[in-house]
Copies of this chain bind each other. A is one copy, B any other.
């Protein structure tokens, strides 16, 4: 039945596009994945690899026999090679570059000058370009040949290759032959700078409503265009990275990454967490004497720590989003801190009362109720301060608050929570 199932999978995917095929391959355990991979026609293999996540494509790349690469690289262009370069061994990148035509090789070289977090790395080079003094008839001649897919603009450049204006195809088709194209320039087209961050550039294109926008370097030379498909991919990747980062993972992580690699990739995050956990334990250890005498404190410790952690992560999440949108700045930092402190104080008082009463009744000890109430209030207020301050400071240090924010925040709320609870307990209950 195992083999029959594989037959079904292979049949199922035969008619699909590279993107869906990539999703299916990623969802298969490695052994089955290799079976389906073997059935994909050689000419389609590179397109499928291009759509897959980094970790997921590696076993497939390893499975391609050395002599097949020539066939796989038959049609390879600069954009594909840029996407695959990190997953391919150097000698294969060089082999691909050798079989590419000169123009594509140049595009690859140009794009490689930009880091992969800059939009200049991810350009589409299929452009309609005309000199600045061209007329409608020149454009019509160009358009009679071949129009690249999803192209709605003709770009005008000066003699030095600098971008000067964009014209809509629909305007060209509706205008008289002799009209200079510059007269039709669409003033709403704002070129994107090649060193802009991918996510910002993608958001810019998506909200512009244009199907693609010109991309220029710092001297206004036209380098290529950013198209929608790329922008959509870059945006999904950005958000996926944020979600995965909250668990200390990489968006390239494969569902079926081999056990050893997977364990290794997660170990770092577990290790960092372990250090913070031992730190919290060390603080608890300072109060061993108290714990021995009032064991109820040990029982209630998780309540104090977890309420602080949750309250802090709510503030943190709000501020991280605000930072990503450019909405948290020096100008409103104080106002934000004041508001979050007020929210923390209000929720702190409410939950302090609730938890204080429950604890006092549970252990028939009103003093214990008072101790935990005070600790909860202090910890929720501390969580609000840390929830605003930690991501803002990380951002100023150019560190990703989505990645390291939560681990630092939890350390703060754990330690403040335990020290407040056990410290106040020592003062009042002994």
A residues touching B (Cβ–Cβ < 8 Å)? 5, 19, 23, 26-29, 143-144, 147, 149-152, 169-170, 173-174, 203, 206-211, 227-229, 231-233, 235-236, 239-240, 242-244, 246-249, 253, 255-256, 259-260, 262-263, 266-267, 269-270, 273-274, 276-278, 280-281, 284-285, 288, 291-292, 295-296, 298-303, 305-307, 310-311, 313-314, 316-318, 320-322, 325-329, 331-332, 335-336, 339, 342-343, 346-347, 350-351, 354-355, 358, 410, 414, 418
Contacts and interface: CB of A to CB of B under 8 A. Distances in A.
A28 B277 contact: no
Contacts of A243: 239, 242-243, 246, 317, 320-321
Contacts of A302: 277, 280-281, 284, 301, 305, 414, 418
A341 to B, nearest CB: 9
Contacts of A314: 247-249, 266, 269
Contacts of A285: 299
A307 B267 contact: no
Contact of A350 (B27, B174, B267, B331): B267
Contact of A284 (B203, B259, B299): B299
A228 to B, nearest CB: 6
State the oligomeric state as a number of copies: 2
Given A203-B236, A244-B318, 12 more contacts: A26-B325, A29-B335, A149-B209, A150-B152, A151-B170, A152-B211, A169-B173, A228-B228, A231-B232, A243-B246, A262-B343, A266-B311
A13 to B, nearest CB: 13
Contact of A291 (B26, B173, B298, B325): B298
Contact of A303 (B269, B274, B299, B320): B274
Nearest to A297: B298
Contacts of A335: 29, 256
Nearest to A340: B262
Nearest to A256: B339
Contacts of A262: 339, 343
22 contacts: A27-B327, A28-B332, A29-B332, A143-B170, A143-B173, A143-B174, A150-B152, A152-B211, A169-B169, A206-B231, A242-B243, A243-B246, A248-B310, A255-B328, A256-B336, A267-B350, A277-B306, A280-B302, A281-B300, A288-B296, A291-B299, A298-B298
